[in-house]
A = this chain, B = another copy of it.
Amino acid sequence: MKLTTKGRYAVTAVLDLALHCEKGPVTLADIAERQKLSLSYLEQLFSKLRKAEVVKAVRGPGGGYLLGSTTENISVSEIIDAVEEKVDATQCGGQGDCNKGMACLTHTLWQDLNDQVHGFLKGVSIASLMERSAVKQVALRQDAGPQDEPQIVTLED
């Protein structure tokens, strides 16, 4: 099973987008700045998100990205599926053939785990994430800007 920063970044970025796209398109530069992510890396992720129609792009000045659907209709599962090749717990990729061409002892277990994870992630929408108090708090802090950014003190000689 694979759930790496790729998927996590994507969800974080789309959530940030959702929190800021009321007044029009949001640029990747803004998202990168707020979430401390690499702009070029985000571009790659959003390329995939656009192809999966999770987001819509607006080119040119004043452009940026918009959500491809309502916040209720975008699930975390969709976002991760768009950027990761597969969130799959099985070895065989669902083929049931990792013991010399036949099912291994634990194939059904990993399939069940797949269903479990997928079901959970499918049930979480961007809208429901936005309602969480923890998310609201973090968003508030990030929007306030870096005015009280903890300063790293380096002792120089």
What residues of B have a CB within 8 angstroms of the CB of A8 in the complex? 91, 106, 110
What residues of B have a CB within 8 angstroms of the CB of A120 in the complex? 112-113, 116
Docked pose: A139 CA to B102 CA in angstroms = 12
Q: Are B109 and A117 in contact (CB under 8 A)?
A: no
Interface residues of A (CB under 8 A from B): 1-5, 8, 11-12, 15-16, 35-36, 76, 89, 91, 99-110, 112-113, 116-117, 120-121, 124, 129, 132, 134-135, 138-139, 141-142, 149-150
Main secondary structure of the interface of A (DSSP, over half): helix
What residues of B have a CB within 8 angstroms of the CB of A135 in the complex? 105-106, 108
Residue of B11, B104, B116 near A106 (CB, 8 A) is B11
Q: Are B35 and A105 in contact (CB under 8 A)?
A: yes
- Highest count of chain B CB atoms <10 Å: which of A2, A16, A138, A141: A138
Docked pose: A141 CA to B107 CA in angstroms = 15
Q: Are A15 and B149 in contact (CB under 8 A)?
A: no
